[in-house]
Amino acid sequence: MKSLKVLIVEDDLTMAESIQETLEQAGHEIIGQARNSREALNVVKHQVPDLALVDITLEGTADTGIMIAKQMIAISPMPVIYLTAHDDPGIVAQAQETRPAAYLLKPFRHKELAIQIELAYYNYKAQHATPVNPHTSLSLFLPVDQGKGYIKVNKKEVMYLMAAGSYVEVHTVKDAKPLIFSMNLGYLAQFFMIQGFHRLSRSLVVNLDYIERIEKGQLFMTNRDTAVPFPENQHRELLQRLAIVRTP
Protein backbone atom coordinates (compact mmCIF):
# COMPACT_ATOMS: atom_id res chain seq x y z
CA MET A 1 0.00 0.00 0.00
CA LYS A 2 1.48 3.36 -0.98
CA SER A 3 1.54 6.25 1.46
CA LEU A 4 -1.48 8.47 0.87
CA LYS A 5 -1.57 12.24 1.26
CA VAL A 6 -4.67 12.90 3.36
CA LEU A 7 -6.52 16.12 4.19
CA ILE A 8 -8.61 16.14 7.39
CA VAL A 9 -11.57 18.53 7.53
CA GLU A 10 -12.73 18.37 11.15
CA ASP A 11 -13.69 21.10 13.61
CA ASP A 12 -12.98 18.96 16.69
CA LEU A 13 -9.25 19.42 17.27
CA THR A 14 -8.99 16.39 19.56
CA MET A 15 -10.68 14.19 16.96
CA ALA A 16 -8.51 15.59 14.16
CA GLU A 17 -5.30 14.95 16.12
CA SER A 18 -6.44 11.41 16.94
CA ILE A 19 -7.20 10.68 13.26
CA GLN A 20 -3.84 12.13 12.22
CA GLU A 21 -1.96 9.98 14.72
CA THR A 22 -3.80 6.85 13.59
CA LEU A 23 -3.12 7.45 9.89
CA GLU A 24 0.51 8.45 10.39
CA GLN A 25 1.10 5.24 12.33
CA ALA A 26 -0.29 3.41 9.29
CA GLY A 27 2.30 5.15 7.09
CA HIS A 28 0.15 7.88 5.57
CA GLU A 29 0.92 11.62 5.40
CA ILE A 30 -1.45 14.29 6.67
CA ILE A 31 -0.97 17.34 4.46
CA GLY A 32 -3.32 19.50 6.48
CA GLN A 33 -6.08 19.91 9.03
CA ALA A 34 -8.91 22.31 8.19
CA ARG A 35 -11.90 23.59 10.14
CA ASN A 36 -13.64 25.54 7.38
CA SER A 37 -13.76 26.02 3.62
CA ARG A 38 -11.06 28.69 3.55
CA GLU A 39 -8.52 26.46 5.28
CA ALA A 40 -9.51 23.39 3.26
CA LEU A 41 -9.33 25.14 -0.12
CA ASN A 42 -6.01 26.73 0.80
CA VAL A 43 -4.54 23.25 1.35
CA VAL A 44 -5.99 21.85 -1.89
CA LYS A 45 -4.73 24.79 -3.97
CA HIS A 46 -1.17 24.18 -2.74
CA GLN A 47 -1.15 20.37 -2.69
CA VAL A 48 -3.97 18.15 -3.92
CA PRO A 49 -4.58 15.29 -1.47
CA ASP A 50 -4.97 11.67 -2.50
CA LEU A 51 -8.03 11.53 -0.24
CA ALA A 52 -10.00 13.84 2.06
CA LEU A 53 -11.67 12.91 5.34
CA VAL A 54 -14.53 15.38 5.84
CA ASP A 55 -16.79 15.86 8.84
CA ILE A 56 -20.25 16.83 7.60
CA THR A 57 -21.25 18.99 10.58
CA LEU A 58 -18.75 21.76 11.31
CA GLU A 59 -19.14 24.29 14.12
CA GLY A 60 -18.18 27.92 13.62
CA THR A 61 -18.70 28.00 9.85
CA ALA A 62 -21.69 28.43 7.57
CA ASP A 63 -20.39 25.76 5.23
CA THR A 64 -21.19 22.11 5.78
CA GLY A 65 -18.63 19.44 5.05
CA ILE A 66 -20.65 18.53 1.95
CA MET A 67 -20.40 22.10 0.63
CA ILE A 68 -16.65 22.11 1.28
CA ALA A 69 -16.25 18.75 -0.47
CA LYS A 70 -18.00 20.13 -3.56
CA GLN A 71 -15.63 23.10 -3.64
CA MET A 72 -12.56 20.88 -3.28
CA ILE A 73 -13.71 18.48 -5.98
CA ALA A 74 -14.32 21.43 -8.30
CA ILE A 75 -10.63 22.33 -7.94
CA SER A 76 -9.41 18.76 -8.37
CA PRO A 77 -11.38 15.48 -8.30
CA MET A 78 -10.51 13.32 -5.31
CA PRO A 79 -12.09 10.59 -3.20
CA VAL A 80 -13.94 11.88 -0.14
CA ILE A 81 -14.83 9.97 3.00
CA TYR A 82 -17.51 11.62 5.14
CA LEU A 83 -17.35 11.42 8.92
CA THR A 84 -20.55 12.15 10.80
CA ALA A 85 -22.56 11.34 13.88
CA HIS A 86 -25.80 11.59 11.87
CA ASP A 87 -27.45 8.93 9.74
CA ASP A 88 -30.36 11.14 8.68
CA PRO A 89 -31.56 10.04 5.20
CA GLY A 90 -31.72 13.67 4.06
CA ILE A 91 -28.06 14.27 4.98
CA VAL A 92 -27.03 10.99 3.38
CA ALA A 93 -28.87 11.99 0.18
CA GLN A 94 -27.04 15.33 0.09
CA ALA A 95 -23.71 13.60 0.63
CA GLN A 96 -24.40 11.16 -2.19
CA GLU A 97 -24.53 14.06 -4.65
CA THR A 98 -20.74 14.28 -4.34
CA ARG A 99 -20.32 10.52 -4.91
CA PRO A 100 -18.34 9.88 -1.71
CA ALA A 101 -15.87 7.02 -1.54
CA ALA A 102 -17.21 6.06 1.91
CA TYR A 103 -19.48 7.25 4.71
CA LEU A 104 -18.38 6.53 8.27
CA LEU A 105 -20.59 7.05 11.29
CA LYS A 106 -19.10 8.31 14.54
CA PRO A 107 -17.95 6.82 16.77
CA PHE A 108 -15.78 4.63 14.56
CA ARG A 109 -12.87 2.40 15.38
CA HIS A 110 -9.63 4.22 14.67
CA LYS A 111 -7.82 0.95 14.02
CA GLU A 112 -10.17 0.31 11.11
CA LEU A 113 -9.80 3.81 9.68
CA ALA A 114 -6.57 3.11 7.78
CA ILE A 115 -8.19 0.06 6.18
CA GLN A 116 -11.23 2.11 5.19
CA ILE A 117 -9.26 4.87 3.50
CA GLU A 118 -7.06 2.39 1.63
CA LEU A 119 -10.10 0.53 0.32
CA ALA A 120 -11.86 3.78 -0.55
CA TYR A 121 -8.82 5.11 -2.41
CA TYR A 122 -8.28 2.03 -4.56
CA ASN A 123 -12.00 1.61 -5.26
CA TYR A 124 -12.11 5.23 -6.37
CA LYS A 125 -9.08 4.80 -8.64
CA ALA A 126 -10.55 1.64 -10.17
CA GLN A 127 -13.88 3.37 -10.89
CA HIS A 128 -12.25 6.48 -12.35
CA ALA A 129 -9.52 4.81 -14.36
CA THR A 130 -9.42 6.28 -17.85
CA PRO A 131 -9.69 3.53 -20.46
CA VAL A 132 -7.33 3.63 -23.42
CA ASN A 133 -9.15 4.67 -26.59
CA PRO A 134 -8.45 2.04 -29.29
CA HIS A 135 -9.33 4.58 -31.99
CA THR A 136 -6.48 6.92 -31.08
CA SER A 137 -3.99 4.48 -29.52
CA LEU A 138 -0.91 3.72 -31.63
CA SER A 139 -1.21 0.02 -30.82
CA LEU A 140 -4.01 -2.50 -30.42
CA PHE A 141 -4.33 -5.86 -28.70
CA LEU A 142 -6.43 -8.01 -31.03
CA PRO A 143 -8.12 -11.28 -29.97
CA VAL A 144 -6.70 -14.66 -30.97
CA ASP A 145 -7.61 -18.26 -30.11
CA GLN A 146 -11.33 -17.44 -29.99
CA GLY A 147 -10.78 -14.64 -27.52
CA LYS A 148 -8.60 -16.66 -25.15
CA GLY A 149 -5.65 -14.36 -25.75
CA TYR A 150 -4.56 -11.12 -27.38
CA ILE A 151 -1.71 -10.17 -29.71
CA LYS A 152 -0.22 -6.69 -30.00
CA VAL A 153 -0.37 -4.91 -33.34
CA ASN A 154 1.43 -1.60 -33.85
CA LYS A 155 -0.63 0.48 -36.27
CA LYS A 156 2.40 2.14 -37.83
CA GLU A 157 3.78 -1.31 -38.77
CA VAL A 158 0.57 -2.30 -40.61
CA MET A 159 0.87 -2.03 -44.41
CA TYR A 160 -2.69 -3.02 -45.21
CA LEU A 161 -5.76 -4.85 -43.97
CA MET A 162 -7.66 -7.14 -46.33
CA ALA A 163 -10.99 -8.87 -45.87
CA ALA A 164 -10.96 -12.63 -46.32
CA GLY A 165 -14.51 -13.84 -45.85
CA SER A 166 -15.35 -13.64 -42.17
CA TYR A 167 -11.70 -12.97 -41.33
CA VAL A 168 -9.32 -10.05 -41.68
CA GLU A 169 -5.73 -10.39 -42.85
CA VAL A 170 -3.42 -7.84 -41.22
CA HIS A 171 -0.23 -7.50 -43.25
CA THR A 172 2.64 -5.92 -41.34
CA VAL A 173 6.03 -4.76 -42.53
CA LYS A 174 7.86 -7.13 -40.19
CA ASP A 175 5.87 -10.34 -40.80
CA ALA A 176 6.11 -12.32 -44.05
CA LYS A 177 2.72 -13.91 -43.43
CA PRO A 178 -0.40 -11.97 -42.47
CA LEU A 179 -1.90 -12.04 -39.02
CA ILE A 180 -5.44 -13.39 -39.28
CA PHE A 181 -8.29 -12.35 -37.00
CA SER A 182 -11.84 -13.62 -36.78
CA MET A 183 -13.79 -10.40 -37.37
CA ASN A 184 -15.01 -8.40 -40.33
CA LEU A 185 -13.02 -5.59 -41.87
CA GLY A 186 -15.83 -3.07 -41.42
CA TYR A 187 -15.49 -3.44 -37.66
CA LEU A 188 -11.68 -3.51 -37.46
CA ALA A 189 -11.16 -0.67 -39.95
CA GLN A 190 -12.67 1.90 -37.56
CA PHE A 191 -9.61 1.57 -35.34
CA PHE A 192 -7.24 2.37 -38.23
CA MET A 193 -8.81 5.62 -39.36
CA ILE A 194 -5.76 7.62 -38.32
CA GLN A 195 -3.37 9.68 -40.41
CA GLY A 196 -1.76 7.64 -43.18
CA PHE A 197 -4.48 5.01 -43.59
CA HIS A 198 -6.97 5.07 -46.46
CA ARG A 199 -9.86 2.74 -47.20
CA LEU A 200 -9.72 1.83 -50.89
CA SER A 201 -12.67 -0.53 -50.93
CA ARG A 202 -14.97 -2.56 -48.68
CA SER A 203 -12.26 -5.21 -48.53
CA LEU A 204 -9.05 -3.13 -48.37
CA VAL A 205 -7.54 -0.54 -46.03
CA VAL A 206 -4.02 0.55 -46.94
CA ASN A 207 -1.28 2.45 -45.13
CA LEU A 208 -0.14 5.05 -47.68
CA ASP A 209 3.36 5.17 -46.18
CA TYR A 210 4.13 1.68 -47.45
CA ILE A 211 3.04 2.09 -51.07
CA GLU A 212 6.08 1.64 -53.34
CA ARG A 213 4.43 1.62 -56.77
CA ILE A 214 0.97 2.19 -58.22
CA GLU A 215 -0.43 0.74 -61.39
CA LYS A 216 -3.97 0.59 -62.70
CA GLY A 217 -5.88 -1.50 -60.22
CA GLN A 218 -2.90 -2.72 -58.21
CA LEU A 219 -0.47 -1.61 -55.55
CA PHE A 220 3.02 -2.78 -54.72
CA MET A 221 3.86 -2.54 -51.05
CA THR A 222 7.15 -2.42 -49.16
CA ASN A 223 8.98 -5.79 -49.14
CA ARG A 224 6.21 -7.48 -51.14
CA ASP A 225 6.59 -8.88 -54.65
CA THR A 226 2.92 -9.71 -55.08
CA ALA A 227 0.64 -6.86 -56.10
CA VAL A 228 -2.40 -5.91 -54.00
CA PRO A 229 -5.48 -5.44 -56.23
CA PHE A 230 -7.87 -2.55 -55.72
CA PRO A 231 -10.85 -1.15 -57.70
CA GLU A 232 -9.75 0.92 -60.68
CA ASN A 233 -12.47 3.47 -59.97
CA GLN A 234 -10.55 4.36 -56.78
CA HIS A 235 -7.37 5.19 -58.70
CA ARG A 236 -8.00 8.94 -58.96
CA GLU A 237 -8.99 9.28 -55.29
CA LEU A 238 -5.88 7.37 -54.22
CA LEU A 239 -3.63 9.68 -56.23
CA GLN A 240 -5.19 12.65 -54.50
CA ARG A 241 -3.96 11.29 -51.16
CA LEU A 242 -0.34 11.09 -52.40
CA ALA A 243 2.30 13.67 -53.35
CA ILE A 244 2.18 13.10 -57.08
CA VAL A 245 4.60 14.84 -59.47
CA ARG A 246 3.06 14.79 -62.93
CA THR A 247 4.80 14.92 -66.28
CA PRO A 248 5.14 18.56 -67.40
User: For 159, phi and psi rounded to 5 degrees?
Assistant: -85, -45
Rounded to two decimals, the pTM is 0.56
111 to 20, 117, 165: CA distances (angstroms)? 12, 11, 62
Omega of the bond prior to 107 within 30 degrees of 0, cis? yes
pLDDT digits (tens, 9 = 90+) for 107-160: 777 777 888 888 888 888 887 777 788 888 899 999 988 767 899 999 999 999
128 to 96, 101, 135: CA distances (angstroms)? 17, 11, 20
DSSP three-state, residue 18: helix
Q: Which residue positions in the chain have pLDDT lower than 70? A: 1, 87, 147
DSSP three-state, residue 40: helix
CA distance linking residue 237 with residue 115, whole number of Å = 62
Question: What pLDDT is stored for residue 1 in this prediction?
Answer: 65
Beta bridge partners of 81: 53, 102
Longest dimension (CA), the chain: 88
Question: What pLDDT is stored for residue 200 in this prediction?
Answer: 93
Question: What pLDDT is stored for residue 142 in this prediction?
Answer: 93
CA distance linking residue 166 with residue 168, whole number of Å = 7
Please give the domain boundaries of the chain with CATH numbers for all domains.
5-127 (3.40.50.2300), 139-240 (2.40.50.1020)
207 in Cβ contact with 196 (< 8 Å): yes
Residue type, 117: I
pLDDT digits (tens, 9 = 90+) for 227-244: 999 999 999 999 999 998
* Chain centroid offset of residue 62 CA: 37
* Chain centroid offset of residue 245 CA: 43
